[in-house]
């Protein structure tokens, strides 16, 4: 079968065990760095060998539909605070995510493709660690989000193994938890073929596993070799449909298909300001700690950041690759990629220059005070953006301890004077809505 091209319509992106594709994806990219090294030796005029240590970077960009919380809900796993057990990603677009949750944003990315309209391959990037999220809005376009990941393995599954999922599973705490995992009931294992069980990157393949109903147990050989389903490990069962199904369809967590500038508000809010919600007057942080929906906090029109032309909020997790000396089948010594706290979160805002009111506000100055750069020192503010569909809030995103780093001004012939604000902080919050 001749294949002349694959177009955008022929590819979709999924996360983990979801059989539905992500919505409004504009691009998906992966690049490899094999870290190749040519080896030489005395007395030999040619290379004696080549070693590689593969690493993978991946990213996808989406048109914003107020679904950031829904995407994170497919990535972020939890650890039970009492038992220490791994808990698979859960939640929907209404779940609140804070900066501390992003440490556990680790997922399996799957890109599925169809050639000549025939679903025939899937690329799996397991244990992809969320590296950064960039949230962007412009006055003359639609809002976007970009997600970047780091990983150390990539596999291409071709027909008939192409109808692929990577399902988060849990330990069987009622039996022998160190050797058995339980598969969610949505996956009838009589219709799926197991490729491997991934235990924090340590893989046990199908030949060393036994299936009984929805339980999968390690055989005697891997147990004798000292392998087990350890407490707190991130667990995933890689499956492909024994009889391949149809090409994955797209799911939309919200009814929005885009968000334009005329449906976004950006506020500059004092962290000590209080708001009345549900009969309680509290600060934003206190409301969030009490479980109040971020979308319901009534920010004031008096705090609107006006004449904004663009906003880019970048949450950088600063992932650091941790290595160990231990045999594995990945060809890579990396066992974990740790986020660095405090996180480095930046917000770049460009706004048409007005009366310097934002400058004065950030420094606590009056309308007639002389303004200088020194006055920004140790002044904290919240930068909050809220997306709407009609008059209904889709999602609210906040940098909650922003300080000014590098303000600037620019003007040119044929243009208008603009102020550029670079703010930075470490506290982050996002929550979407079921709209």
Closest CA to 97 of 81, 128, 73: 73
**Residues 221-275: tens digit of each pLDDT:** 999 999 999 999 999 999 999 999 999 999 999 999 999 999 999 999 999 999 9
Residue 1's pLDDT is 63
Q: Which residues are bridge partners to 170 per DSSP? A: 182
Report the C-alpha gap between 302 and 298 in whole angstroms. 12
Average pLDDT of every residue of the chain: 95
Burial of 88 (0-12, 13-18, 19+ CB in 10 A): middle
Instruction: Report the distance separating Cα 23 and Cα 14, nearest Å.
Output: 10
When pLDDT is averaged across residues 304-333 and rounded to a whole number, the result is 93
pLDDT-derived band at 40, boundaries 50, 70, 90 = very high
**Domains of the chain with bracketed CATH:** 8-34+53-241 (no CATH), 261-432 (2.30.110)
Q: Which of 346, 349, 362, 360 lies closest to 271 in space, CA to CA?
A: 362
* Tens-place pLDDT, residues 75-86: 999 999 999 999
Based on the number of CB atoms within 10 Å of its own CB, is 62 exposed (0-12), middle (13-18) or buried (19 or more)?
Answer: buried
Helix (H) or strand (E) holding 222: helix 220-224
Indicate the pairing of strand 308-316 with strand 55-63: unpaired
Query: 194, 238 in Cβ contact below 8 A?
Result: yes
- For residues 182 and 168, the answer to whether their CB atoms sit within 8 Å is no
Q: What is the pLDDT of residue 331?
A: 86
Q: Which tokens go with 328?
A: 């594995």
Query: What would the mean pLDDT of 405-415 be, rounded to a whole number?
Result: 90
**Token couple for 203:** 């893989």
pLDDT digits (tens, 9 = 90+) for 49-65: 999 999 999 999 999 99
Measured between its terminal Cα atoms, the distance across the chain in Å is: 44
**223-260 as b/e: b if 16+ CB within 10 A:** beeebbbeeebbbbbbbbbeeeeebbeeeebbebeebe
pLDDT of 149 over the 80 cut: yes
Contacts of 190 (CB under 8 A, 6+ apart): none
pLDDT per residue as tens digits for the range 345-376? 999 999 999 999 999 999 999 989 999 999 99
User: What pLDDT sits at residue 177?
Assistant: 82
Cite the DSSP H helix spans in 17-103. Answer: 68-75
Q: What is the pLDDT of residues 88-123, one digit of tens each?
A: 999 999 999 999 999 999 999 999 999 999 999 999
Measure the CA–CA gap between 76 and 58, rounded to whole angstroms: 17
Predicted local confidence at residue 330, as pLDDT: 82
Distance CA 333, CA 339 (A): 18
Q: What is the mean pLDDT of residues 203-208?
A: 95
Number of CB atoms found within 10 A of residue 54's CB: 17
Half-sphere exposure of residue 330: CA atoms within 13 angstroms, side-chain side = 27
Using pLDDT thresholds of 50, 70 and 90, give the confidence band for residue 175. Answer: confident
Distance CA 158, CA 160 (A): 6
pLDDT at 414: 87
CA-based nearest residue to 110, from 20, 188, 201: 20
CA distance 113 to 148: 21
The pLDDT assigned to 255 comes to 95
Do residues 342 and 317 lie in contact, with contact meaning Cβ atoms separated by under 8 Å? Answer: no
- Give the distance from CA 404 to its chain's centroid: 26
Query: Residue 358: what pLDDT?
Result: 92
Q: Determine the average pLDDT of the residues in 173-187.
A: 91
Q: Are 349 and 268 in contact (CB under 8 A)?
A: no
pLDDT(174) > 90: no
Tokens, residue 12: 């979709």
Beta-carbon count within 10 A of 50 CB: 10
Could you tell me where the DSSP H helices lie in 254-335?
A: 284-289
- 324 SS3 class: coil
Overall average pLDDT of the 326-332 stretch: 85
- For the residues 385-391, what does the mean pLDDT come to? 96
């Amino acid at each position: 079968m001749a294949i002349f091209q694959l177009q955008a319509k022929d590819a979709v992106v999924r996360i983990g065990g979801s059989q539905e594709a992500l919505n409004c994806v504009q691009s998906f990219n992966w690049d490899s760095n094999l870290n190749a090294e040519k080896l030489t030796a005395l007395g030999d005029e040619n290379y004696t060998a080549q070693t590689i240590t593969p690493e993978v970077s991946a990213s996808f960009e989406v048109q914003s539909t107020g679904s950031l919380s829904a995407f994170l809900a497919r990535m972020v796993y939890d650890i039970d605070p009492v038992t220490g057990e791994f808990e698979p990603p859960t939640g929907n677009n209404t779940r609140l995510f804070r900066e501390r949750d992003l440490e556990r944003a680790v997922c399996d990315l799957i890109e599925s493709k169809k050639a000549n309209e025939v679903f025939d391959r899937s690329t799996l990037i397991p244990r992809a660690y969320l590296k950064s999220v960039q949230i962007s809005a412009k006055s003359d376009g639609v809002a976007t989000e970009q997600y970047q990941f780091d990983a150390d393995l990539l596999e291409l599954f071709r027909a008939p193994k192409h109808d692929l999922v990577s399902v988060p599973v849990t330990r069987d705490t009622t039996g022998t938890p160190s050797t058995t995992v339980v598969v969610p009931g949505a996956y009838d294992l009589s219709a799926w073929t197991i490729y491997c069980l991934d235990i924090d990157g340590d893989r046990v393949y199908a030949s060393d596993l036994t299936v009984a109903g929805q339980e999968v147990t390690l055989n005697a050989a891997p147990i004798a070799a000292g392998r087990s389903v350890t407490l707190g490990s991130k667990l995933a069962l890689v499956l492909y449909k024994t009889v391949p199904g149809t090409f994955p369809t797209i799911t939309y967590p919200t009814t929005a298909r885009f968000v334009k500038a005329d449906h976004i508000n950006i506020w500059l809010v004092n962290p000590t300001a209080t708001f009345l919600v549900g009969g309680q007057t509290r600060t934003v942080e206190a409301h969030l700690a009490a479980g109040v929906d971020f979308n319901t906090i009534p920010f004031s029109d008096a705090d609107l950041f006006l004449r904004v032309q663009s906003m880019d909020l970048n949450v950088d997790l600063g992932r650091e690759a941790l290595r160990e000396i231990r045999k594995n089948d990945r060809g890579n010594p990396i066992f974990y990629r740790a986020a660095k706290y405090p996180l480095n979160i930046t917000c770049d805002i460009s706004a048409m220059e007005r009366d310097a009111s934002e400058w004065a506000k950030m420094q606590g100055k009056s309308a007639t005070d002389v303004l200088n750069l020194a006055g920004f020192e140790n002044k904290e503010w919240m930068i909050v953006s809220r997306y709407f569909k009609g008059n209904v809030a889709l999602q609210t995103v906040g940098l909650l301890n922003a300080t000014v780093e590098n303000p600037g001004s620019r003007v040119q012939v044929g243009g208008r004077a603009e102020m550029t604000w670079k703010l930075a902080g470490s506290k982050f919050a996002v929550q979407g809505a079921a709209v």
